[in-house]
Amino acid sequence: MPRAILSALEKESIEPVAWAYADLTCDGTLEGSGHSTANTYLVLSATELVLLSSKTTSSVKTYNGYFEKRVRAKAATLPEVVDSIRRLSLADISSPKVENLVSGGCLLVTVNDAERILCVFSGQYVHPMTDFCRELERATKKDDTDGAKGPEHDPHANAHEEETRCPKCGMLYPERDRKICPRCMDKKSIFLRVLKYFAPFKGRIAIMMLAVLAGTAMTLVLPYISGTVLFDNVLAKDEAASAFLESLGIPGQFVTALWILAAALLLSKLLQTLFSIIQGRTVASVVPRVMKSIQTSIFDSLGRLSISFFSRRQTGGLMTRITGDANEVMGFFIDGLPYIFTHAAYIICSMVIMFTISWELSLISLVLIPALFTVGFMMMPTLWHYYGKRHRANRSMNARINDNLTGARVVKAFGREQEEIARFDKINSRVRRSELDLVDFDNKYLALFTVVEQLAQLAVWLVGSILLLGPEQGITYGVLVTFVGYVTGLSNPLDFMSYAMRWWTDSMNSAQRIFEILDAVPEVTERENAIELKDIKGKVELEGVSFSYEPNKPVLKNVSLVAQPGSMLGIVGHSGAGKSTIVNLISRLYDCNEGRILIDGIDVRDVTFASLRKSIAMVSQETYIFMGTVEQNIAYARPDATSAEILAAAKAASAHEFIMRMPDGYNTVIGAGGRSLSGGERQRISIARAILADPRILILDEATASVDTQTERSIQDAIDKLIVGRTTISIAHRLSTLRAADSLVVIEHGEVVERGTHAELARAKGVYFKLLQLQSKALALKGISDTPKDS
């Protein structure tokens, strides 16, 4: 809170309990609403709600997340001047609420029976204001109930205030759920950790590095041979050349020397090629292996993680992580890292050689080298940007194609082909434009880079020639040629270095993402010395279970229920009431926050995963058919099942007939890429799967919700067979499905509101009765009276 507000409060002797800030307007009149300089502070004291409005003289308004590289002096926040104070007694206030606007929101309260708008604020203040509103509600309510209900403090209330920015540099985290700042992350330790994956291939890596270094050496030798040696020694017929020829016993044969030189040039070229082949081959043998071990370890840890990990992230995102990130990391380690060394080595070595040859010329190129580097460094981000733009354009074109192919029937049915073609054309020309933009800029970049490069060479030529022709004869012609060779050779490494930094950051970020999966701790874990669940009777109990997927949003509140061994318990409720959550908790895909779940009196948290999940089978609305044959799909939970058992299970699930109608019978390949099955057929396969698993406890989660009435009949028959002798927990919103239930539980907003048998509940005329009436009315409207008043 700014000092001006605090001192104003002090002057009025108001003791703040809670406060909130609104940035758009404060007075109920809405006059001048939305001025970015309006500030409102809402302060809650023990007896009052105080509204203070003030003006800052700062002309710039900064929204959440904005971040400047150079943090300017805090002078921007000029002292505030309080220009009005309004006090409202809490006794007059009731029903405060935050209402969402298109962007941001407003706070409304009822003052003396008239609803009043207190303040308007933009998006970033919605959360804090909601908290404040809750506080206000509590304060206003306390007067009515005289503190009967003490202020309950929700531990999760401030959960959304958790840091979204890097504490070190103040930048927002690129991914919301990932508290990693790419600028500040410890790239070195990540780098070392990735290196570990290469450890088994030390020998080969060493060979590769040697080859790379040798190749660089060859590159360094080449200009020297074709420059100094050729012009100054051989062509100039100097002493060194003569001495060399004499030592070979062929004095004076300078043409032969030329041949030897040519051979040496050829040899070093050949060696250079040889080294690059060796390098290529070692890379080819190492990379796939390291890739494999990284991807395997990612997949391993994915299997280990709890279901919540998957539901929090998109499957697509995970796919890119496994393939894309591993590729990105590898790409850098193979195509980047070795060259960083060699290019650095090349730059240093050639600089040293250049200086030993001629310091005057070196100084000239030294001035131009930074220029070259700067060009790369300055233009690279924009170039990346254009790449990104092309990528986005391509992606939206793909999306459009996909959209059209999927909706081909609708397009045809309404005869909109021409319009679709026009729409596609538009997006296609965007792709073309982005491609042209990219090429355009790339050319500009290349042109500029080449110009600078050429200028450097030209300057070297020019100064070199002056030195050559000058009275002192500073250098020889061969030296000049050698020198230009080195200067030319520098441009590639410099170009490379200018984007290596970005490459390194990106790849370390990818590596970090991979390690996040590897390091993720599963939320649901098996405890040490977990008990094997054996020969159970199948009693399922929930004792005061509370659960929430997200803090602050309870899905289940103190739910207790019992399913007796061998009986069927039906769970009824609106969609979103928390029915499926109960199932997730029983099979321990999640752990409950409070209370416990018992199977035969044993807490599910004390039981091994394997034995728990062996005892429970689930048939749900979403059936998943894996790629494979019918046989494999049915035997998914028990791959060792005999053919006879599989047949029996399929028969009991009334799946046998349709399976036999397929040409390859039980060996028919189904699932993605295979023969497609109808919803009812998939459902029956999944029932057969459950029958074969032969669990003590069976969970039916809306098993028949998505199929037609006739199919439902046959599935229902299959289920009737399946539930015999098992504890069954059945969830349905179609009440007819639950006819056979021994007892029913009605869930509303995560709480058990009614329980009893069908007859009892129908007599009680409560929620269940209403649902029953609603459904029979709906049927009546359709002209079907399926269950005419059977209560």
Partner 1 sequence: MNTEIKDENKEYEQIIAQQNQKVEQMFSISFLTKENTTVERTEGGLMSATVDGTFYKRVRPVRCFPFTDPDKYISLREGSGNESREIGMLLNIGDLGAEAEAIIRNQLDLMYFMPIIKKILSIREEYGYSYWDVQTDRGELRFTVRMGGNSINKLSDTRIIISDLDANRFEIPDTSALSAKELKMLDLYL
Smallest gap from Cβ 124 to partner 1, in A, equals 4
Smallest gap from Cβ 777 to partner 1, in A, equals 6
The DSSP bridge partners found for residue 491 are: none
CB neighbour class for 612 (10 Å; exposed up to 12, middle 13-18, buried from 19): buried
Q: Is 104 in the site for partner 1 (CB under 8 A)?
A: yes
Concatenated DSSP letters of 360-414 = HHHHHHHHHHHHHHHHHHHHHHHHHHHHHHHHHHHHHHHHHHHHHHHTHHHHHHT
Residue selected from 4, 88, 171, 497 as contacting partner 1 according to rule CB under 8 A: 171
Q: Is 75 in the site for partner 1 (CB under 8 A)?
A: no
Q: Is 103 in the site for partner 1 (CB under 8 A)?
A: yes
Smallest gap from Cβ 790 to partner 1, in A, equals 13
Residue selected from 18, 172, 235, 637 as contacting partner 1 according to rule CB under 8 A: 172
Q: Is 106 in the site for partner 1 (CB under 8 A)?
A: yes
**Distance between CA atoms of 660 and 655, rounded to whole angstroms?**
9
Smallest gap from Cβ 537 to partner 1, in A, equals 44
Residue selected from 100, 443, 643, 791 as contacting partner 1 according to rule CB under 8 A: 100
> What binding mask, one character per residue, do residues 351-390 give for partner 1 by CB under 8 A, x or -?
-------------------------------x--xx--x-
Other Cβ atoms closer than 10 A to 263: 10
Residue selected from 64, 273, 454, 709 as contacting partner 1 according to rule CB under 8 A: 64
Binding span for partner 1 by CB under 8 A among 21-29, 136-144, 250-258, 455-463: 21-29
- CB contact at 8 A, 688 and 619: no
Binding span for partner 1 by CB under 8 A among 3-11, 118-126, 301-309, 571-579: 118-126
Q: Is 327 in the site for partner 1 (CB under 8 A)?
A: no
Give the torsion sign (CA, 202, 208, 210, 216). Answer: negative
Other Cβ atoms closer than 10 A to 505: 15
Residue selected from 4, 12, 92, 116 as contacting partner 1 according to rule CB under 8 A: 116
Residue selected from 3, 13, 29, 247 as contacting partner 1 according to rule CB under 8 A: 29
**Distance between CA atoms of 714 and 78, rounded to whole angstroms?**
75
Other Cβ atoms closer than 10 A to 443: 10
**Distance between CA atoms of 431 and 262, rounded to whole angstroms?**
50
| CB of 296 or CB of 429, closer to partner 1 | 429
Other Cβ atoms closer than 10 A to 584: 21
**3-class DSSP state for residue 569?**
strand
Rg (CA), the chain: 38
Q: Is 358 left (phi over 0), alpha (psi -120 to 50) or beta?
A: beta
Residue selected from 10, 15, 83, 115 as contacting partner 1 according to rule CB under 8 A: 115
Q: Is 34 in the site for partner 1 (CB under 8 A)?
A: yes
- CB contact at 8 A, 127 and 160: yes
Residue selected from 10, 11, 65, 355 as contacting partner 1 according to rule CB under 8 A: 65
Smallest gap from Cβ 351 to partner 1, in A, equals 33
Residue selected from 1, 7, 61, 263 as contacting partner 1 according to rule CB under 8 A: 61
Q: Is 788 in the site for partner 1 (CB under 8 A)?
A: yes
DSSP secondary structure code for residue 618 in this structure: E
Three-state DSSP string of 294-315: HHHHHHHHHHHCCHHHHHHCCH
Residue selected from 4, 12, 17, 36 as contacting partner 1 according to rule CB under 8 A: 36
**Distance between CA atoms of 67 and 163, rounded to whole angstroms?**
15
Q: Is 37 in the site for partner 1 (CB under 8 A)?
A: yes
| CB of 123 or CB of 766, closer to partner 1 | 123
Smallest gap from Cβ 729 to partner 1, in A, equals 30
**3-class DSSP state for residue 602?**
strand
**3-class DSSP state for residue 645?**
helix
- CB contact at 8 A, 618 and 701: yes
Smallest gap from Cβ 117 to partner 1, in A, equals 4
Q: Is 120 in the site for partner 1 (CB under 8 A)?
A: yes
Smallest gap from Cβ 90 to partner 1, in A, equals 17
Smallest gap from Cβ 209 to partner 1, in A, equals 32
Q: Residue 139 contacts by C-beta under 8 Å, 6 or more apart in sequence?
A: 17, 44, 46, 90
Binding site for partner 1 (CB under 8 A): 24, 27-30, 33-37, 59-68, 99-104, 106, 108, 111, 114-117, 120, 122-124, 126, 171-172, 174-175, 182-183, 382, 385-386, 389, 392, 777, 780-781, 788-789
